[in-house]
Amino acid sequence: MSERKVRVRFAPSPTGALHIGGVRTALYNYLFARQNGGELIFRIEDTDSSRFVPGAEEYILESFKWLGIKFDEGVSFGGNYGPYRQSERRDIYKKYVDILLEEGKAYIAFDTPQELETRRNEIANFQYDASTRLSMRNSLTLSKEEVNELVNNGSQYVVRFKIEPNEDVHVNDIIRGEVIINSSILDDKVLFKSSDQLPTYHLANIVDDHLMDISHVIRGEEWLPSAPLHVLLYRAFGWEDTMPKFAHLPLLLKPDGNGKLSKRDGDRLGFPVFPLEWHDPKSGEVSSGYRESGYLPEAVINFLALLGWNPGTNQEILSMDELIQLFDLTHCSKAGAKFDFEKAKWFNHEYILHADNRELAEMFIPIVKGNGIDAPLEKVVTVVGLMKDRVSFMKDLWDTCKFFFVAPETYDEKTTKKRWKEDSPEMMLELAAVLENIDDFSLENQEKIVMKWIEDKGYHLGNIMNAFRLTLVGEGKGPHMFDISSVLGKEETLKRIYRAVEVLK
Ligand code: GLU
Q: Is the CB of 25 under 6 A from ligand 1?
A: no
Q: Running DSSP on this structure, what letter comes out for residue 436?
A: H
Q: Is the CB of 13 under 6 A from ligand 1?
A: yes
For residues 18 and 160, what is the distance between their CA atoms, to the nearest angstrom? Answer: 30
Whether residues 239 and 95 fall in one domain: yes
What ligand 1 atom has the least distance to the C-alpha of 219? 8
Whether residues 383 and 450 fall in one domain: no
Kindly compute the dihedral angle of the four CA atoms of residues 493, 495, 497, 503, in this order, to the nearest 10 degrees: -150
Residue whose CA is closest, atom 5 of ligand 1? 11
- Locate the DSSP E strands across 174-321: 177-182, 190-193, 198-199, 216-220, 245-249, 252-253, 278-279, 286-287
Q: For a substitution probing ligand 1, which of 222, 223, 224, 251 has the most ligand atoms within 8 Å of its CB?
A: 223
What ligand 1 atom has the least distance to the C-alpha of 201? 1
Note whether residue 61 is domain-resident.
no
Rounded mean pLDDT of 363-389? Answer: 95
Over the stretch 93-107, which tens digit does the pLDDT of each residue have?
999 999 999 999 999
Q: Which of 262, 346, 339 is nearest to 307 (CA)?
A: 339
Q: State the CB neighbour count (10 A cutoff) for residue 165.
A: 12
What ligand 1 atom has the least distance to the C-alpha of 22? 10
- Active-site annotation, residues: 263
- Which residues are within 8 A (CB) of 176 and not within 5 positions of it... i.e. 6 or more apart? 224, 248, 334
Q: State the CB neighbour count (10 A cutoff) for residue 312.
A: 9
- Which residues are within 8 A (CB) of 238 and not within 5 positions of it... i.e. 6 or more apart? none
Note whether residue 2 is domain-resident.
no
- Domain boundary (200, 234, 249) is at 249
Q: For a substitution probing ligand 1, which of 30, 201, 208 has the most ligand atoms within 8 Å of its CB?
A: 201
Compute the C-alpha angle 197/199/205, nearest 5°.
Answer: 155
Q: Running DSSP on this structure, what letter comes out for residue 273?
A: S
Whether residues 488 and 426 fall in one domain: yes
Note whether residue 294 is domain-resident.
no
Q: Is the pLDDT of residue 177 over 90?
A: yes
Number of domains in the chain: 3
For residues 20 and 384, what is the distance between their CA atoms, to the nearest angstrom? Answer: 29
- Domain boundary (249, 264, 295) is at 249
DSSP letters of 349-391?
HHHHHHS-HHHHHHHHHHHHHHTT----HHHHHHHHHHHGGG-
C-alpha 460: how far from its chain's center? 53
Q: Do 173 and 227 contact (CB within 8 A), yes or no? A: yes
Whether residues 384 and 445 fall in one domain: no
Over the stretch 126-158, which tens digit does the pLDDT of each residue have?
999 999 999 999 999 999 999 999 999 999 999
Q: Is the pLDDT of residue 278 over 90?
A: yes
Q: Is the pLDDT of residue 2 over 70?
A: no
pLDDT confidence band for 288 (50 / 70 / 90): very high
CA of 13 to the centre of ligand 1 (A): 7
Q: Do 244 and 16 contact (CB within 8 A), yes or no? A: no
- Domain boundary (184, 219, 249) is at 249
What ligand 1 atom has the least distance to the C-alpha of 218? 8
The amino acid present at 225, given as its one-letter code, is P
Whether residues 367 and 461 fall in one domain: no
Note whether residue 124 is domain-resident.
yes
The CATH number of residue 386's host domain is: 1.10.8
For the CA atoms of the chain, what is the radius of gyration? 32
CA of 191 to the centre of ligand 1 (A): 16
CA of 484 to the centre of ligand 1 (A): 54
Q: Do 244 and 217 contact (CB within 8 A), yes or no? A: yes
Rounded mean pLDDT of 39-64? Answer: 95
The CATH number of residue 197's host domain is: 3.90.800.10
Q: Is the pLDDT of residue 71 over 70?
A: yes
- Please state, in angstroms and as integers, the Cα–Cα distance from residue 144 to each residue in 103, 108, 140, following that order: 15, 11, 9
pLDDT confidence band for 395 (50 / 70 / 90): confident
Q: Is the CB of 15 under 6 A from ligand 1?
A: no
Q: Which of 393, 182, 203 is nearest to 288 (CA)?
A: 393
Whether residues 243 and 94 fall in one domain: yes
What ligand 1 atom has the least distance to the C-alpha of 45? 1
- Which residues are within 8 A (CB) of 31 and not within 5 positions of it... i.e. 6 or more apart? 305, 323, 324, 327
Rounded mean pLDDT of 9-33? Answer: 97
Rounded mean pLDDT of 182-211? Answer: 96
Compute the C-alpha angle 466/469/471, nearest 5°.
Answer: 115
Q: What is the mean pLDDT of the chain?
A: 96
pLDDT confidence band for 505 (50 / 70 / 90): confident
For residues 463 and 74, what is the distance between their CA atoms, to the nearest angstrom? Answer: 67
Q: Would you call 330 helix, strand, or coil by DSSP?
A: helix
Q: For a substitution probing ligand 1, which of 10, 44, 45 has the most ligand atoms within 8 Å of its CB?
A: 45
Q: Is the CB of 219 under 6 A from ligand 1?
A: yes
Whether residues 199 and 230 fall in one domain: yes
Whether residues 135 and 229 fall in one domain: yes
Q: Is the pLDDT of residue 1 over 70?
A: no
**Whole-number pLDDT of residue 102:** 97
Q: Is the pLDDT of residue 370 over 60?
A: yes
For residues 336 and 252, what is the distance between their CA atoms, to the nearest angstrom? Answer: 6
Q: Is the CB of 11 under 6 A from ligand 1?
A: yes
Note whether residue 138 is domain-resident.
yes
Whether residues 97 and 145 fall in one domain: yes
Phi-psi category of residue 125: left, alpha or beta, with phi > 0 → left and psi -120 to 50 → alpha: left
Note whether residue 350 is domain-resident.
no
Whether residues 191 and 241 fall in one domain: yes
Phi-psi category of residue 249: left, alpha or beta, with phi > 0 → left and psi -120 to 50 → alpha: beta
Over the stretch 447-458, which tens digit does the pLDDT of each residue have?
999 999 999 999
Q: Is the pLDDT of residue 310 over 60?
A: yes
Task: Name residue 289's beta-bridge partners.
Answer: 274
Q: Is the CB of 45 under 6 A from ligand 1?
A: yes
Whether residues 421 and 462 fall in one domain: yes
The amino acid present at 435, given as its one-letter code, is L
Whether residues 422 and 379 fall in one domain: no
CA of 462 to the centre of ligand 1 (A): 64
Note whether residue 24 is domain-resident.
no
The amino acid present at 174, given as its one-letter code, is I
Domain housing 362:
356-397
Q: Running DSSP on this structure, what letter comes out for residue 51?
A: G
Q: Do 9 and 214 contact (CB within 8 A), yes or no? A: yes
Residue whose CA is closest, atom 2 of ligand 1? 12
Burial call 207-242: b when 16+ CB within 10 Å, e when fewer? bbbbebebbbbbbbbebbebbbbbbbbbebbebeee
Q: Is the pLDDT of residue 170 over 70?
A: yes
The CATH number of residue 453's host domain is: 1.10.10.350
Note whether residue 362 is domain-resident.
yes
The answer to whether the bond into 83 is cis (omega within 30° of 0) is yes
Q: For a substitution probing ligand 1, which of 87, 205, 224 has the most ligand atoms within 8 Å of its CB?
A: 205
Q: Would you call 1 helix, strand, or coil by DSSP?
A: coil
